[in-house]
Structure 1
């Protein structure tokens, strides 16, 4: 039994597409194996910004020989029916088997080398890959028949055991050579087999296992916050996104101007998360702190000082914009802002957004009156109970 390694190396794969791409790769590969009567003991997939990889464990060296039986026409059928059946099966009349007045074709299919099956499967998988968005590139892109991939495909590693599985897709030949980290080890790396794939890449500053990268980001970011007496605000979606943006994740803690804390914490967190992919922190009292954690993709010689400073400046610009829009909104009372909803069409058959708000308010009142949800107390509770929100 032998392991098979397939790596498809390209330009940057968007982080949001990587998990589904891993699932699609495993699904398409399994389907191609099943066509040939093969089954892997286990399939493991990996994704980084620059590569999509699969390892299939314990594949046999060859497929088993099989005998396929195809039912044909009855012996008494017209000659045309027999001729059509012979053309379909590629047999002669004397090779057919008769049982109970019915003719059968028995076709013996010899076993095939697994490497041969894999060589055919690789192009089929790549060309059938269902990326949400894909592109064509190069001179061949003028044709609609050219290869489509999420980003330009640059390399293929295909090893069955320690043997290269020959395949060619749009001029890209399979081999045993890949590349390491873009900055720490941009040179070629020769992979020996599936067994040393992750280890060799790790030595060249590439962590192929997305779960390992997520653990590093989560644990290191938490430790950085703890070290300065703060608590990291957990965000698994952001952990996954940062892992999808880096091959060698290095979390770094920075500070922003305390004056920005006058902006609502939700605005700060949204700005840091959506625009910059940063984590934010809170103090022991649960209040948002003027600290953020960014994730670099390199081990900087200065320990990340310049990286943090650059990210701090970018975040300051983002927060400055957020504060401007927040303070601008405060100049107009919420009741006045709500009137603008009367000019926004929600749906041609359902009226404006203001009409939608009225319906939601009525539903909220009914939920309270029926005792399904408790009524908020105080002034805010009284306001929320009004259909208009006034």
Structure 2
């Protein structure tokens, strides 16, 4: 068994592309060997700014002989089919095998030397390599057939054991020679085999293992900070990026003018990180200190003093710009910055950012004034919403778009605005993604929720919802963020009413024709699976408007199901509660789902489900609809379908009737009072009577009156269950 080394050397590979390039090289190499009948086995793939390297261990000297079998046409097929199969296989008819009227071709392929396979694989890998961006170069670049690579390819090392694998691509022939560090050891290095590759490069100031370079940077930067009594602000992304920029990393600590610390720390960190790839450090007090750690690519004779001095000058220039932006932006009040938002188009059909701000302000004020967001001052909610987007026109956010919201909060605080307003401006984009902090401060909750709901309803109002995997306006993220905010703050939110208001505001400011504008009336909550007819009847909507509200509600329902499934809630239990319809209080809906999940995990829940399904099947055979609960927040139960007393009733019948008489009102009252665990307990009381009923009586009794009575009992039973959840949706 023999090791194989492949190095593809080029000009600098961008750091952001190196991880993908390693994965691509491994994938293509495995595919090429697999096609030749070789198992790649253990692979090691490394990258530096100037090379991709792969070591495949324990490859055989040759591929094994294989026999390939191809199925052909039937022996009775037209001659043309047989002729085509013969051309494909290169065989004659007498070489085919006839098996039960079907031709088969058995082709024996002799083994090949692995070195030969590798010689063919290397050019194929290079030509098939998928870079995010690539280029042609040299005198042949005018041809579309010339080699494309991320940067000009300059060398190939291909060694199997200790033997060269000869190949050539784009005028570059494989060899034993590579090059070391650009400055420390720019000459050629002869590689003898895969075994000495990494150590020979290390001797020439190249650490080829990217993970080792990352560890050097991670540990070295932390040590450089600690030696100065500081602590490194950890940034794993920056560790990986610096490792992708250096072949011989040397972390060095530098200092900048302490006067720059008057600029917000996030600005300093972003300036150092984005523009210069520097780490920042904290002092003993945990606050940002006037230090930075840069990563040199050489082992400087002066210990890096000159490198640090040069980097300090460059960083000072960047920080001077940031300080200028900070000072200039604060000369103008946020309210005056906000006036410029009417120059920025939010969407051609939805007006300007100023139009959006006004919609958000109205929604936030409504959420506060209606008490939906408890302890929220409506005036502060409106003020925060009106100023939330003002920093979009500032110099600082123009330079660093990542700081939108955050800088608005700083400017608001510097201006002397209330802390609640400044915090809401700072955090109104949150949560941005999974794992991000969810706002809890009342004013922030009102503004953040209003902002996201406006975005959702606005794009649905102009018929631009997400389609398939495409979501250009991040509406799925906005919906999930809204759901997280509602749940985190336990908001008792009538979602249908709020969405109706939001749609109206969107239409009023959007560029739609007057004939498509609709006056919206608030109405009863409807989430889950209501029909358009229900929306029209309950809310006074016309059909077009009902469709718009329906679409947003349905979208919310789908996102909620996704969120709850990811949280470990069974999808069928979610459907069982959603199927009741008539519910848009998410807190109440999820409390019911949680109680149902706990109940179904018990023996009573499993047995009641079995009894329900048996009852539903009997009713279906009798052509009697399973009576659902009356849609609405309070649930309810199906109308009683049998008289309280019946002369032909047995003791078993009467026990079930008595249980229903007790359980139905108890469950309905518990649902109305949002005691969902008690509602499940009321259902549990039906388990023994329904089991005894099926064991003790014949439902389809020959006596028509008895049969009707017992079917009525089952209808009452299923109706009582439906008052809590639609058990027909539950699996089991």
Q: Measure the CA separation in 2 of the matches of 1:364 and 1:214.
A: 50
Deviation (angstroms), 1:240: 0.8
Go from structure 1 to structure 2 and tell me whether the alpha carbon gap of 1:293 and 1:374 turns closer, same or farther (over 3 Å shift). Answer: farther
Shift of 1:351: 2.9
Deviation at 1:210, TM superposition (A): 0.7
Determine whether 1:278 maps to 2:278: yes
Larger radius of gyration: 2
Hey, what's the Cα distance between the residues in 2 that align with 1:204 and 1:32?
Answer: 32
Q: Indicate which of 409, 412, 420 corresponds to 1:381.
A: 420
State the structure with bigger RCO (CA 8 A, min sep 6), 1 or 2.
1
Residue in 2 aligned with 1:334? Answer: 334
Shift, 1:46, TM fit:
0.6
Partner of 1:30: 30
Taking the aligned partners of 2:353 and 2:56, their CA distance within structure 1 comes to 53
Alignment of 1:52-91 (within 5 A): 52-91=52-91
Compared CA separation, residues 350 and 31, structure 1 to 2 (3 A): farther
Change (3 A) 1:192 1:333: same
1:365–1:387 contact (8 Å) kept in structure 2 = no
For residues 199 and 379 of structure 1, the distance between their equivalents in structure 2, rounded to whole angstroms, comes to 62
- Deviation string for 1:37-76 (max 9, x for gaps)? 2112211111111001111122122112111122223333
* TM-score, L = length of structure 2: 0.51
CA displacement, residues 221-242 of structure 1 (integer Å, 9 cap, x when unaligned):
1111111111111111111111
Task: Map 1:1-390 to 2 at 5 A.
Answer: 1-357=1-357, 362=363, 379-382=418-421, 384=424, 385=443
Task: Render the CA deviation track for 1:323-380: whole Å, top value 9, x for unaligned.
Answer: 1111010100112112222211122233323344456664798599656999999932
In terms of mean alpha carbon deviation, does 242-251 or 354-363 score higher?
354-363
* CA distances 1:133-156 after superposition (whole Å, capped 9, x unpaired): 111100000111110100000000
Contact 2:86 2:93 in 1 (8 A): yes
1:83 positional shift = 2.5
- Going from structure 1 to structure 2, the CA distance change for 1:342 and 1:206 (only over 3 Å counts) comes to same
Kindly tell me: are residues 273 and 374 of structure 1, through their superposed partners in 2, closer, same or farther at Cα, counting changes over 3 Å?
Answer: farther
SS in 1 for 2:244: helix
Provide closer, same or farther for how the CA distance between residues 357 and 159 of structure 1 changes in structure 2, counting only shifts above 3 A: farther
Q: Which has the higher helix share?
A: 2
Q: Indicate how the Cα distance of structure 1 residues 355 and 115 shifts in structure 2: closer, same or farther if over 3 A, else same.
A: farther
TM-superposed CA distance for 1:78, in Å, is 3.3
Q: C-alpha distance in 1, partners of 2:321/2:19?
A: 33
Counterpart contact for 2:71–2:103, Cα < 8 Å: yes
Per-residue deviation, 1:382: 4.8
SS in 1 for 2:300: coil
Q: Distance in 2 between matches of 1:234 and 1:359?
A: 40
Distance 1:124 1:246 in 2: 29
Q: Please give the secondary structure, in 2, of the residue aligned with 1:139.
A: coil
CA gap of 1:10–1:372, structure 2 versus 1, over 3 A, is: farther
Per-residue deviation, residues 186-228 of structure 1 (Å, max 9, x unmatched): 1111111111111110111000111110110111111111111
* Alpha-carbon contact 2:364-2:447 (below 8 Å) kept: no
**SS, match of residue 144 in structure 2:** coil
Q: Aligned partners of 2:85 and 2:223: how far apart in 1? A: 72
Normalised by the size of structure 1, how large is the TM-score? 0.94
Compared CA separation, residues 213 and 363, structure 1 to 2 (3 A) = farther
Q: Deviations over 1:256-310 (max 9, x none)?
A: 1111111111111111111111111111111111111111100111111111111
Distance 2:90 2:249 in 1: 58
CA–CA distance in structure 1, aligned partners of residues 74 and 318 of structure 2? 79
In 1, distance between residues paired with 2:208 and 2:365? 49
Cα distance in structure 1, aligned partners of 2:360 and 2:115? 61
Rate the CA distance shift 1:74–1:50 in 2: closer, same or farther, 3 A. Answer: same
Does the aligned pair in 2 maintain the 1:230–1:283 contact within 8 Å?
A: yes
SS in 1 for 2:141: helix
What is the alpha-carbon distance in structure 2 between the residues aligned to residue 88 and residue 134 of structure 1? 36
Unaligned regions of 5+ residues in structure 2, if any? 382-416, 425-442, 451-732
Unaligned stretches of 5+ residues in structure 1: none
In 1, Cα distance between the equivalents of 2:279 and 2:447?
37
- Taking only aligned residues, the RMSD between alpha carbons, in angstroms, comes to 2.5
Shift of the 370–4 alpha-carbon distance from structure 1 to 2, 3 Å rule, reads: farther
1:164–1:365 CA distance, 2 compared to 1 (3 A)? farther
Deviations 1:122-174 (A, max 9, x none): 11111111111111100000111110100000000111111111110100001
Give distance in 1, aligned partners of 2:311 and 2:230: 20
More strand by share: 1
Conserved? CA contact 1:97–1:103, under 8 Å: yes
